[in-house]
Amino acid sequence: MPSPLPLLTLGLRALLINIVIFVLLAAALAWYLGGSLLPGRQTVNFPAFEWMGDDYHFRVIGHGTTPEPVRWELLHTLPDGDEDRLTLGIDGRWRNVWGPLVHYGGVMIGLEVEARDDSTQWWVAQIDRDRAVTTRQVEDRDMMLGTLRGAPQFGVAQPAPGDAERGGAPTP
């Protein structure tokens, strides 16, 4: 009686060939659909907004293989096309971003930040006409949203009715 070893070897070889073909076709399909077989870091650039002749945009970064939350960045596009990451002097990972709120006195941004001790902090940042950054930590999300709605907490004069007809609001 012949030994079953050659038949077993042929069967395992055929199985291995089928597995390789399956993995190659799955990878090709994933690539064709715009993804990958083993997802890694995903980056999304949001549309740019212009302030004082410069372009800024937000970038959100997530990781497809870990349950870690996404991270936000604010980038300033330099004239040569390079990008400068703006930390705004706030330490921690940006978890959520509100804004930008572009008004005559500057650009305001609300941030939910995860501090190094895993606590949640709420910040409001403003980039003014001179590109100076002012940041302020607030107590909670409602105060942050209220600050974005009413910029006087930063000493920025609010437009009064009729300011548009008179050529703009007074500067602080």
Question: Residues 47-83: pLDDT tens digits?
Answer: 888 878 888 888 888 876 666 777 788 888 888 888 8
Say which range, 8-22, 84-98, 154-168, has the weakest mean pLDDT: 154-168
Euclidean distance between CA atoms 55 and 76, whole angstroms: 6
Whether residue 145 is found in the same domain as residue 112: yes
Whether residue 136 is found in the same domain as residue 70: yes
Whether residue 118 is found in the same domain as residue 54: yes
Whether residue 13 is found in the same domain as residue 88: no
Whether residue 79 is found in the same domain as residue 136: yes
In tens, the pLDDT along 23-36 reads 999 888 888 887 76
Whether residue 64 is found in the same domain as residue 12: no
Quickly tell me which residue has 């991270």 as its tokens: 71
pTM: 0.59
- Residues forming beta bridges with residue 93, ordered by sequence position: 114
| Residue 140 domain boundaries | 41-154
The total of structural domains in the chain comes to 2
Strands (E), the chain: 41-45, 49-51, 54-63, 71-77, 83-86, 93-103, 106-114, 120-128, 133-138
68, two tokens: 């870690």
Quickly tell me which residue has 């403003």 as its tokens: 126
Whether residue 48 is found in the same domain as residue 133: yes
